[in-house]
């Protein structure tokens, strides 16, 4: 079974978002996503300063098997990216909800996460997909 | 649901992620594809290749049949057990399939063909035999399973499972030779660039043999690792690197076409001769190493400044080299560097001689 953390919000396309204490939002891909992709070997994250829209393709994660787009779960401006991923993309496989985060955004509005799925709703999506 | 090999239930029980491959439900990995890859390069791993089709050809006309059917020359097969890699071509020189032929006796040759092409291959063989009026029995051996055991420790692990009288003979097999050991057939062949055996066994024995090899330290490996290993080893994949619309001379397979003796009239010969007489194939298959960060994938466009364009036919991340590598079909005049279009960015790649890796060692400079 894929791990789903109770304190995060999720997109149907298998990204997670976390509200940080300073109001920024951290984004990554879910345990289900990393498991489906297999060993990650390359990550292309957006540049700091990029303006993201909800659902827009903003990053690419590539495993030995395939390349997969990451869709931004929130609107906002990229303020920080996880530089460790360029040398160690496997951090996403090892710790997708922690050291494997992709980028952080300053959200465009304060209600940015309300439209996303909570853990129960995301778990239901996974159950419906058979995963 | 796809077709299942005799090992399907065991793969699922071992936690394999199953995917469709040529209409078959096959394991792509059992956890980490990269770890499985390294197991084969450093130790020993095994692959269920029972989806490939063993075809026994029987009858005194078999040698004559094969000498017309395939582009390599079965006249090279004189020693019992010797194997030959060849393409089977259509009249325009396109590759119907690539296959391995084992010479067992003068009235028994064994051929192993790809899973996705097996039905087409069998129909083509039967049609050719009928057209040529040759009495060759073409027997699809669905009663067999096949396990490829590969890596520096692979042969010793397999030998432990053989009867004492077969063990030494198997270990003395030279590369590209096979041996019948009772109901088993053991061949020193593979698709990884490592030493090893491919073992053909009765389907009913497959699960017990797989478990015995696990117990001997051989790791279960999926088709994912098989693909990265064969790419590093510079070996073509049918459907990616060649197909019915591509001939061997533009697919890195000229070495498998025997134009000598000149009076051997194999299917596709006239088409290949015409290409040679017109100055050679305008395209060639080369190895690429990506000089920048990213991953080469099949169908990416290759730009050769001042020369023309080509296409990546197979690409991946190489676990051994920790770089992205590929095969690409490019214009013949392509030099040492090209650019590859990866999601709209042009990234530099270097043209290298194949293979990338053999027997655990990088053969290209990084």
Give the DSSP letter of residue B76. G
Cα–Cα distance between B349 and B111 in angstroms, integer?
37
Cβ–Cβ < 8 Å for A23, B16: no
Cα–Cα distance between B200 and A74 in angstroms, integer?
54
Residue A94 contacts B, CB cutoff 8 Å: no
Tell me if A23 is assigned to some domain.
Answer: yes
Q: What is the pLDDT of residues B11-69, one digit of tens each?
A: 999 999 999 998 999 999 999 999 999 999 999 999 999 999 999 999 999 999 999 99
Q: What is the mean pLDDT of chain B?
A: 97
- Closest listed residue to residue B37, CA positions, set B231, B357, B297, B320: B320
Measured between beta carbons, which residues in chain A are less than 8 angstroms from residue B17?
A: 38
pLDDT of residue A114: 86
Summarize the confidence of residues A10-36 as an average pLDDT.
96
Q: Can you give the CATH number for the domain in which A19 is found?
A: 2.40.50.100
CB contact under 8 A, A65 and B297: no
pLDDT of residue A111: 62
CB contact under 8 A, A65 and B28: yes
Measured between beta carbons, which residues in chain B are less than 8 angstroms from residue A66?
A: 297
Measured between beta carbons, which residues in chain B are less than 8 angstroms from residue A60?
A: 343
Measured between beta carbons, which residues in chain A are less than 8 angstroms from residue B33?
A: 38-39, 63-65
Measured between beta carbons, which residues in chain A are less than 8 angstroms from residue B319?
A: 64
The number of distinct structural domains making up chain A is 1
Summarize the confidence of residues A13-34 as an average pLDDT.
96
Tell me if A14 is assigned to some domain.
Answer: yes
Measured between beta carbons, which residues in chain A are less than 8 angstroms from residue B295?
A: 41-42, 62, 67
Nearest CA in chain A to B318: A64
Q: What is the mean pLDDT of chain A?
A: 94
What ipTM score was computed for the predicted complex, to two decimals? 0.83
CB contact under 8 A, B224 and A67: no
Q: What is the pLDDT of residues B99-114, one digit of tens each?
A: 999 999 999 999 999 9
pLDDT above 90 (res B132): yes
> Distance (Å) from the C-alpha of residue B345 to the closest C-alpha of chain A?
12
> Distance (Å) from the C-alpha of residue B309 to the closest C-alpha of chain A?
23
Summarize the confidence of residues B83-102 as an average pLDDT.
98
Q: What is the pLDDT of residues B203-245, one digit of tens each?
A: 999 999 999 999 999 999 999 999 999 999 999 999 999 999 9
Summarize the confidence of residues B133-137 as an average pLDDT.
98
pLDDT category of residue A109 using cuts at 50, 70 and 90: confident
Tell me if A3 is assigned to some domain.
Answer: no
CA distances from B228 to A58, A60, B41, B252 (A): 28, 21, 11, 18
CB contact under 8 A, B343 and A65: no
Residue B78 contacts A, CB cutoff 8 Å: no
Residue A127 contacts B, CB cutoff 8 Å: no
pLDDT above 60 (res A131): no
pLDDT category of residue B366 using cuts at 50, 70 and 90: confident
Tell me if A39 is assigned to some domain.
Answer: yes
Nearest CA in chain A to B292: A42
Tell me if A2 is assigned to some domain.
Answer: no
Q: What is the pLDDT of residues B258-308, one digit of tens each?
A: 999 999 999 999 999 999 999 999 999 999 999 999 999 999 999 999 999
pLDDT category of residue A129 using cuts at 50, 70 and 90: confident
Cα–Cα distance between B89 and B93 in angstroms, integer?
5
Tell me if A79 is assigned to some domain.
Answer: yes
pLDDT of residue A110: 67
Cα–Cα distance between A81 and A10 in angstroms, integer?
19
> Distance (Å) from the C-alpha of residue A65 to the closest C-alpha of chain B?
7
Tell me if A1 is assigned to some domain.
Answer: no
Cβ–Cβ < 8 Å for B272, B93: yes
Establish, for the pair of chains A and B, how many residue pairs have beta carbons separated by less than 8 Å: 38
Q: What is the pLDDT of residues A36-75, one digit of tens each?
A: 999 999 999 999 999 999 999 999 999 998 899 999 999 9
Q: Which residues form the domain of A98?
A: 9-129
pLDDT above 90 (res B123): yes
Residue B34 contacts A, CB cutoff 8 Å: yes
Cα–Cα distance between A102 and A79 in angstroms, integer?
11
pLDDT above 90 (res B1): no
Tell me if A74 is assigned to some domain.
Answer: yes
Segments of chain A assigned E as strands: 9-10, 15-19, 25-29, 40-44, 51-52, 57-63, 67-71, 76-81, 103-107
Nearest CA in chain B to A87: B293
Residue A60 contacts B, CB cutoff 8 Å: yes
Q: Please name the member of A38, A44, A62 whose beta carbon is closest to the beta carbon of B33.
A: A38
pLDDT above 80 (res A1): no
CB contact under 8 A, B317 and A42: yes
> Distance (Å) from the C-alpha of residue A45 to the closest C-alpha of chain B?
12
């Amino acid at each position: 079974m894929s791990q789903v953390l109770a304190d995060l919000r999720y997109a149907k396309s298998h990204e997670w978002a976390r509200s940080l204490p300073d109001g920024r939002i951290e984004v990554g891909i879910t345990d289900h996503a990393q498991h489906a992709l297999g060993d990650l070997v390359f990550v292309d994250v957006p540049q700091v300063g990029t303006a993201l829209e909800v659902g827009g393709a903003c990053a690419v994660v590539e495993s030995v098997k395939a390349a997969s787009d990451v869709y931004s779960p929130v609107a906002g401006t990229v303020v920080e990216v996880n530089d460790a991923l360029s040398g160690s993309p496997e951090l996403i496989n090892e710790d997708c909800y922690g050291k494997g985060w992709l980028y952080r955004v300053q959200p465009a509005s304060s209600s940015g996460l309300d439209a996303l799925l909570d853990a129960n709703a995301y778990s239901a999506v996974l159950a419906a997909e058979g995963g | 649901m796809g077709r299942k090999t005799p090992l399907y239930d065991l793969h699922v029980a071992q936690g394999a992620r199953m995917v469709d491959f040529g209409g078959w439900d096959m394991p792509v990995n059992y956890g980490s594809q990269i770890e499985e890859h390294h197991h084969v390069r450093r130790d020993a791993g095994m692959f269920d290749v029972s989806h490939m089709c063993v075809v026994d050809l029987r009858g005194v006309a078999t040698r004559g049949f094969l000498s017309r059917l395939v582009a390599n020359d079965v006249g090279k097969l004189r020693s019992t057990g010797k194997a030959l890699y060849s393409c089977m071509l259509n009249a325009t020189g396109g590759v119907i399939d690539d296959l391995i032929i084992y010479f067992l006796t003068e009235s028994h040759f064994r051929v192993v063909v790809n899973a996705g092409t097996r039905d087409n291959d069998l129909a083509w063989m039967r049609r050719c035999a009928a057209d040529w009026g040759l009495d060759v029995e073409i027997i699809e051996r669905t009663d067999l399973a096949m396990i490829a055991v590969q890596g520096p420790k692979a042969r010793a692990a397999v030998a432990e499972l053989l009867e004492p009288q077969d063990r030494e003979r198997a270990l003395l097999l030279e590369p590209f030779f096979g041996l019948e050991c009772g109901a088993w057939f053991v061949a020193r062949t593979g698709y990884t660039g490592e030493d090893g055996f491919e073992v053909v066994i009765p389907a009913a024995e497959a699960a017990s043999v797989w478990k015995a090899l696990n117990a001997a330290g051989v790791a279960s490996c999926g088709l994912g690792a098989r693909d990265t290993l064969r790419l590093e080893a510079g070996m073509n994949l049918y459907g990616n690197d060649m197909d019915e619309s591509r001939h061997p001379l533009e697919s890195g397979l000229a070495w498998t076409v025997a134009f000598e003796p000149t009076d051997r009239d194999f299917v596709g010969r006239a088409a290949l001769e015409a290409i040679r007489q017109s100055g050679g194939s305008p395209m060639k298959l080369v190895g690429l190493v990506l000089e920048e960060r990213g991953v080469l994938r099949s169908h990416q466009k290759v730009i050769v400044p001042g020369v023309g364009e080509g296409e990546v036919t197979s690409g991946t991340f190489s676990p051994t080299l920790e770089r992205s590598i590929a095969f690409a079909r490019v214009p013949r005049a392509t030099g040492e560097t090209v650019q590859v279009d990866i999601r709209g960015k042009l990234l530099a790649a270097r043209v290298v001689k194949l293979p990338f890796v053999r027997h655990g060692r990088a053969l290209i400079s990084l």
